[in-house]
Amino acid sequence: MVTGNLQALPPTVATFDALYSWYFDIGVTASVVVIGMLVLFMVKYRSKSPVFERVSHRPESWKIVLVTVAISLTLLGTVEYQTFASFSNITVPDPPSSIYVRVTGMQWQWNFTYSNGVSQLGNLTVPAGRVIILNITSIDVFHSFGLTMLDVKEDAIPGRVNQAWFEINQTGTYTDAIRCFELCGIGHATMIANLTVVSPAAWNRFIGGSS
Ligand SMILES: [Cu+2]
């Protein structure tokens, strides 16, 4: 979920937001209907109600069961379909123009290493409008790389490389945009980094002509 001042939603964020809306809307609707019916039936079929005696002999109750099952399957099928249909927007792409950055978590800071071998502590610099693929690892304990403004979160595990990706079109410095989301020791709360999104020209100067 974007909380900053981004004007256009990056593709992964739009996908996650749409999925969240599907689950949230259906979840809330189902809750309201179920709780409403519970209260209604508690009153309508209470022991002193005039309809109480007739309830246990109602012959067509299988129809209600059928309708309930059909509605449930339709709702579940809808969110499942939306979830699987979103996979192509969420899985790591690999266009030739992708930028790879190695992200190393350590107690208690983030280190970013670029294709030219340069490293930055506490700041991730990326160009606008390109797919950024992060190779995330740790050199000590478990950490979790979170760039929640862009719905990116991935564990940083020693001896393992996990990938995450994002794309952002708006240049700027996003202060404290990156945090650790795995309790990793006494300095966990201060394991924060900035995201700096630069223009393609500035990126080329930064990376020294290669990417
Ligand atoms: Cu950590």
pLDDT for 128-167, tens place per residue?
Answer: 999 999 999 999 999 999 999 999 999 999 999 999 999 9
Return the pLDDT at 58.
Answer: 67
Ligand 1: distance of its center to the CA of 108 in Å? 6
Q: In whole angstroms, what is the distance from residue 79 CA to residue 134 CA?
A: 29
Q: Which residues contact 11 (CB under 8 A, 6 or more apart)?
A: 89, 167
Ligand 1: distance of its center to the CA of 156 in Å? 8
Q: In whole angstroms, what is the distance from residue 201 CA to residue 194 CA?
A: 20
Return the pLDDT at 3.
Answer: 44
Return the pLDDT at 61.
Answer: 77
Query: Could you please report the per-residue DSSP string of 141-155?
Result: S-EEEEEGGGTEEEE
C-beta of residue 192 within 8 angstroms of C-beta of residue 178? yes
Ligand 1: distance of its center to the CA of 188 in Å? 5
* Model confidence, pTM: 0.77
Average pLDDT over residues 182-205: 95
Return the pLDDT at 2.
Answer: 44
The one-character DSSP state at 203 is H
Return the pLDDT at 119.
Answer: 94
Q: In whole angstroms, what is the distance from residue 70 CA to residue 176 CA?
A: 47
Ligand 1: distance of its center to the CA of 93 in Å? 27
Per-residue pLDDT band at 209 (split at 50, 70, 90):
low
Return the pLDDT at 192.
Answer: 97
pLDDT one-digit tens code per residue, 19-58: 999 999 999 999 999 999 999 988 888 877 777 666 666 6
- Statement: residue 179 has pLDDT above 90: yes
Residue found under tokens 């379909």? 81
Average pLDDT over residues 178-206: 95
Return the pLDDT at 40.
Answer: 93
Return the pLDDT at 211.
Answer: 47
Ligand 1: distance of its center to the CA of 74 in Å? 42
